[in-house]
Chains A and B, each alone.
Chain A
Amino acid sequence: DAKTTQPPSMDCAEGRAANLPCNHSTISGNEYVYWYRQIHSQGPQYIIHGLKNNETNEMASLIITEDRKSSTLILPHATLRDTAVYYCIVRVDNFNKFYFGSGTKLNVKP
Chain B
Amino acid sequence: EAGVAQSPRYKIIEKRQSVAFWCNPISGHATLYWYQQILGQGPKLLIQFQNNGVVDDSQLPKDRFSAERLKGVDSTLKIQPAKLEDSAVYLCASSSGTGGYYGYTFGSGTRLTVV
Mostly, the A contact residues are loop
Interface size class of B (residues with CB under 8 A): 20 to 34
Type the 1/0 row for A76-110, where 1 means its CB is closer than 8 Å to any CB of B. 00000000010100000011111111110000000
Residues in chain B near residue A98, CB distance under 8 A: 33, 45, 104
Interface size on A, residues (CB 8 A): 24
Q: Are B99 and A103 interface neighbours, CB within 8 A?
A: no
In the complex, B67 has a CB within 8 A of chain A: no
Identify which of A10-18, A19-27, A40-48, A59-67 touches chain B: A40-48
Q: Are A96 and B95 interface neighbours, CB within 8 A?
A: yes
Enumerate chain B interface residues (CB-CB to A < 8 A): 4, 31, 33, 35, 41-45, 48, 50, 55-56, 91, 93, 95, 97-99, 101-109
